[in-house]
Structure 1
Amino acid sequence: MGDDRVYVGKADVDGPREGGWLLGHFMPEGDPRRSGDVEVKWGVHAAGEARSRWATGERRTALLVLVSGGRFRVELPDRTVLLAEPGDYVVWGRGVDHSWYAERESVLLTVRWPSVPGYRVEPPVRR
């Protein structure tokens, strides 16, 4: 007998179904992974992959942590942050536009809050 309040999964299997996102407002009603408070992503990015366009008018706070790989650039209006070693991370608040580029294959854990509808963008592009 299962408990519909508990979900057990694998990030590298479940993530690709939702563009890497594991938790957020976009999960189905009744799914324990549905949340209006927070979003969590397991991002696996190939070398040369880039965000398809800048995120502007940001209404969320975000945390990106490099899990493995290395050389993932987070582009902000006034600087570029390089995540080069596992455990490197960056946090930015509401109102900070951003983009990113994977110089090398990288796996990142992203946490954003709150979970706000309307921010879906096209899949990453190769540069």
Structure 2
Amino acid sequence: MMQPKVIYGNAAVEGANRWGWFMGHFISPDDDPRSTAVLEVKWGVHKAGDQRTEWAVNNEATTISILISGKFCLKFEDREIILSREGDYVLWCPGEPHCWVAESDCTILTVRWPSKPSDSVALPL
């Protein structure tokens, strides 16, 4: 059976079992319009103090994180960028180590492209 051409849903619900990611190569079945190698989309809802302390890097993907609400800090090797106004964003290229902390309860929309298995890797400290 062919998948529909219009899909609707809830990003938080659909991404609940994948750390907020609801579009990308990891969606099945393969003919679902949300299953794509072109990009990945994440709806991240974080409580104040949530953080990813281990450094990670994407070998091939470019990433943009856009603040929907709250205050969020992305850490890079040479700087920290705080997103504090609705619409603030940070874009980083492949090979940039990063980690993050939620400075307050917040919601972040993240898009990463392309969507490739095993592209995001943790870095040893």
TM-score clears 0.5:
yes
Paired positions, count: 120
Give the strand-richer structure, 1 or 2.
2
TM-score when scaled to structure 2?
Answer: 0.86
Determine if the alignment matches structure 1 residue 59 to structure 2 residue 60: yes
Question: Is the Cα–Cα contact under 8 Å of residues 52 and 121 in structure 1 kept in the other structure?
Answer: no
Runs of 5+ consecutive residues of structure 1 not aligned to the other structure: 123-127
Question: Residues 59-117 of structure 1: CA distance to partner in whole angstroms, max 9, x if unpaired?
Answer: 21000000012x21000111000001111100011111111000111100000000011
Runs of 5+ consecutive residues of structure 2 not aligned to the other structure: none
In the TM superposition, 1:1-127 aligns within 5 A as 4-28=4-28, 29-56=30-57, 58-69=59-70, 71-119=71-119
Moved more, 53-62 or 99-108: 53-62
Three-state SS of the structure 2 residue aligned to 1:26 is: coil
Cα RMSD of the aligned pairs, angstroms, is: 2.0
Question: Is the Cα–Cα contact under 8 Å of residues 5 and 31 in structure 1 kept in the other structure?
Answer: no
Question: Is the Cα–Cα contact under 8 Å of residues 60 and 112 in structure 1 kept in the other structure?
Answer: yes
Question: Is the Cα–Cα contact under 8 Å of residues 76 and 97 in structure 1 kept in the other structure?
Answer: yes
CA shift in 2, pair 1:8/1:57, >3 Å? closer
